[in-house]
Amino acid sequence: MSIAFANEVTVWIVGATLAALLAAALAIGVLSAAGKISVPLRHELWLRLGSWCGLFPVMIVPVLLGREWTIAAVTLLSLACYREYARATGLFRERLLSLAVVLGLLAANFAALDNWYGFYVALWPLTASILAIVSIPQDRPAGYIQRVALAVFAYMLFGAGLSHLSFMANDPGYRPIILLLLTTVALNDVAAFTAGKLIGGPKLLPATSPNKTISGALGAVAVTTLVVTLLGGALFEGTVLSFAPWLILLGLLVSVAGQAGDLMLSSIKRDLGIKDMGVVLPGHGGILDRFNSLLLVSPIIFHLVHYVIGLGTGQPTRLITGGG
């Protein structure tokens, strides 16, 4: 317990998350009682809040429990996201390619568990090569570009991309960093939704996502950048990253990459002609509908932080394979 909450930023984030859930419940309750919101909107808000109440413990508890738990949770999340993607795009019918993506995804998370950065980095081009090669012996050139491109894209998002969250867990101070990402990405979505509803105005990209407005996008950028800058200031105190321009860049990237991930999934869904990727989470749709914002945030923020102050530097490497 004391290790889990060793950093005060962890305490703040977990406390603020609980407070936000309570405040949201109160706000919806008050607005409903006053008759300020329509019945369908009220229903949607309660469903979303209910899903958040279930999701937050599933997201936060493994991070608090420890490195291995975090990596296990990220691996399961990646597999669940890939499953939805494969079933939505039809890639699941390509068993060999699908198996190769899953094995690549497991290998990336194993490299994180092993804290073997060389292997981890090598896996991206190696898996892409394997995906390009593996279906050639089937002698079915028709559709080759589509199926291989879909598989490489899948590995990029759910293998190489999301596993950066796993690799972050090798840093002794990983808890507040990962919690910061998980919660601010969620905050980013909520801020965009709320600012869009409150301010309204012109649509952002009506063909891609008809409900998103420019005001929502800018509101999210403002709120998320502010929160990340403030929390980051405490979290990275005494390091180069506590320099204000770095923190603002960090906040901007979380918000912009988060929204880009959301819009990326909207583009995928529009292209396929489907509304949701799944039915697991009431009010949200599939797991991927909820975690789309993390897909691009994870690698981008990992590499920014790693570049500026280093993540996991000085920690023992190759814990399982040895030779580190």
Partner 1 sequence: MDFKLRPARDLGLAPGERMRSLKRESGLFGTVTSGLWRRATRLYLRLAHRLEVVGRENLPAAPPYVLIANHSSHLDALTLAALPRGEAARGVRALAAGDVFFGSGRTTAFAAYAINALPVWRGRMKRGDLATLRQRLVEDGLVYIIFPEGTRSRTGEMGEFQAGLAMLVGGTGVPVVPCHVSGAFEAWPAARRFPRPGRVRVRIGPALDFSAVANDRAGGLSLAQACQKAVEDLR
Residues in touch with partner 1 (CB under 8 A): 83, 86-90, 92-95, 98-99, 102, 140, 142-144, 146-147, 150, 272, 274-276, 278-279
Shortest distance in whole angstroms from residue 48 CB to partner 1: 18
The nearest distance, CB 290 to partner 1, in angstroms, is 16
In the complex with partner 1, which residue's Cβ is closer, 195 or 268?
A: 268
Min CB(94)–partner 1 separation in Å: 7
Tokens 């910061």 belong to residue: 180
CB of 280 to partner 1, least distance (A): 9
Distance, in Å, from the CA atom of 188 to the CA atom of 50, rounded to the nearest integer, reads 18
Strand partners, 203: 213
List the beta bridge partners of residue 281: 285
Instruction: Provide the residue type at 128 as one letter.
Output: A
Of 88 and 112, nearer to partner 1 (C-beta) is 88
**Residue 99 or residue 240: which is nearer to partner 1 going by CB?**
99
Give whichever of 150 and 220 is closer to partner 1, judged by the CB atom.
150
Report which of 298, 317, 300, 324 is spatially closest to residue 113, judged by C-alpha positions: 317
Q: Where are the alpha helices (DSSP H) in 171-286?
A: 174-199, 214-235, 244-272
Q: 151 vs 220, which CB is nearer to partner 1?
A: 151
Of 161 and 286, the one with the shorter C-beta distance to partner 1 is 286
- What amino acid is encoded at 200 in this protein? G
Locus of tokens 């005494």 = 238
- Complex with partner 1: residue 93 or 303, whichever CB lies closer: 93
Q: How far is the CB of 76 from partner 1 (least distance, A)?
A: 14
Q: How many residues does the chain have?
A: 324
CB 164 → partner 1: shortest distance, Å?
24
What count of Cα atoms within 13 Å lies in the side-chain half-sphere of residue 60?
23
Tell me how far apart the alpha carbons of residues 276 and 284 are, in angstroms, rounded to a whole number: 8
Q: Using an 8 Å Cβ cutoff, are 264 and 295 in contact?
A: yes
Tokens of 207: 């063909």
Q: Is 275 exposed, middle or buried (0-12, 13-18, 19+ CB in 10 A)?
A: exposed
Residues 6+ apart with CB under 8 A from 270: 207, 208, 209
